[in-house]
Amino acid sequence: MREATLSKKLLSLRKKTSWSWERICREFHRVMGEEGPSHTTLFRYSSERVKRPNVVTERYVRQAIHKLTFELSKK
C-alpha cells in the first residue's frame, strides 16, 4: 500500500482534531521539543502549494504527525 502524501496526512490530522493551523504548529513544536516550520508553511504543504519541498521540513512534519497521532491515540 502506498503511503499517504504529506498534504493528506496534514489534512487528516486537522479534520480529526478540528485544530487551526496555528494550533497544529504549536502541538508539533511541543511534541518535537523544538521550533519547526510556521503554520503558513504547514498550510502550504497541506494545500500542495509548495513549489520546492524542503527535505528537513518534510522530515520534521512527518515525525511530528507520527508522534502527535500516537499521543492522541493513547487518550
Is 30 a member of any domain? yes
Question: Residue 4 has what pLDDT?
Answer: 76
pLDDT at 1 exceeding the cut of 60: no
Note the Cα 31 to chain centre separation in Å. 11
CA distance 8 to 46: 7
Give the total number of structural domains in the chain: 1
Question: Residue 19 has what pLDDT?
Answer: 94
Mean pLDDT throughout 45-67? 92
pLDDT at 42 exceeding the cut of 80: yes
pTM comes to 0.86
- Phi, psi of 27, deg, nearest 5: -65, -40
How does DSSP assign 11-64, residue by residue? HHHHHHHT--HHHHHHHHHHHHTS----HHHHHHHHTT--SS--HHHHHHHHHH
* Structural domain harbouring 33: 6-74
Is 62 a member of any domain? yes
Is 1 a member of any domain? no
